[in-house]
Structure formats: C-alpha cells, structure tokens
C-alpha cells in the first residue's frame, strides 16, 4: 500500500475511533456530530459498527456484477468447442456480445 494511502487510512480509522471514544465518554450523538462537523447519521453508523464488530475500517465490498449471463458464457464455450481454431474477437463478434475480448478469454480459461 502506498505511504499516502496508508496514512489516509490510519487517519480515517483514528477519526472513527474518536467518534466512538467521545460517545463512550458520555457525549450525545448530536454533540459529537456538531463538534466534528459530520451528520448524526455518520456518528450513529460508526457507533453501531464499533458495537457490532470492534472494527473502524471499511467493510469488505462484494465483487462487481458479471457482465455476461450464464447463457452467454455457455454460448462462448460452445462456440470455442465448435471451432477450436477461432479466437476471442471472432467469438465475440459472431455472438454479437457487448463485452471485451478479454472477458471472452476469461470465460474460456
């Protein structure tokens, strides 16, 4: 991780820890929000997350949605099996797919 990104991450985690610390010290959610210049919703989010997980970082994100359907993946594989000498560009064009040739290769491997 780059030094700048690491410092920014540590700063965010420290800020989130500060929110939780202020709450544990007895300050109200509204007071915390006003003192830090953030919304009450943000304060509540980090307090709840700290109660649930004791983690102040970002939660892992899921993968992006697939750009091909199961039927399209099946068609790509069938086209490659029908003509083993064909390439990804030809398969993509013959099936009229709106995906990159890299995506076609990824399906085949």
- CATH number for the region 70-108 comes to 1.10.10
| pLDDT of the residue at 30 | 95
Domain boundaries, the chain: 8-53, 70-108
| pLDDT of the residue at 46 | 87
Same fold, 8-53 and 70-108: yes
State the architecture of 8-53 in CATH terms: Orthogonal Bundle (1.10)
Q: Which of 59, 53, 22, 14 is nearest to 40 (CA)?
A: 22
Task: Note the pTM of the prediction, 2 decimals.
Answer: 0.47
Residue 13, judged by CB atoms within 10 A of its CB (0-12, 13-18, 19+), counts as middle
| pLDDT of the residue at 8 | 73
pLDDT profile of the chain (109 residues), mean per 10: 68 81 93 92 89 67 88 96 94 95 94
């Amino acid at each position: 991780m780059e030094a700048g990104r690491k410092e920014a991450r540590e700063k965010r985690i420290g800020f989130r820890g500060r929110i939780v610390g202020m709450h544990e010290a007895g300050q109200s959610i509204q007071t915390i929000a006003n003192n830090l210049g953030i919304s009450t919703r943000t304060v509540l989010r980090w307090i709840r997350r700290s109660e649930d997980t004791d983690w102040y970082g970002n939660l892992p994100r899921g993968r992006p949605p697939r750009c091909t359907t199961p039927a399209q993946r099946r068609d790509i594989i069938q086209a490659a099996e029908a003509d083993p000498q064909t390439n990804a560009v030809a398969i993509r064009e013959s099936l009229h797919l709106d995906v990159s040739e890299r995506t076609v290769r990824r399906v085949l491997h």
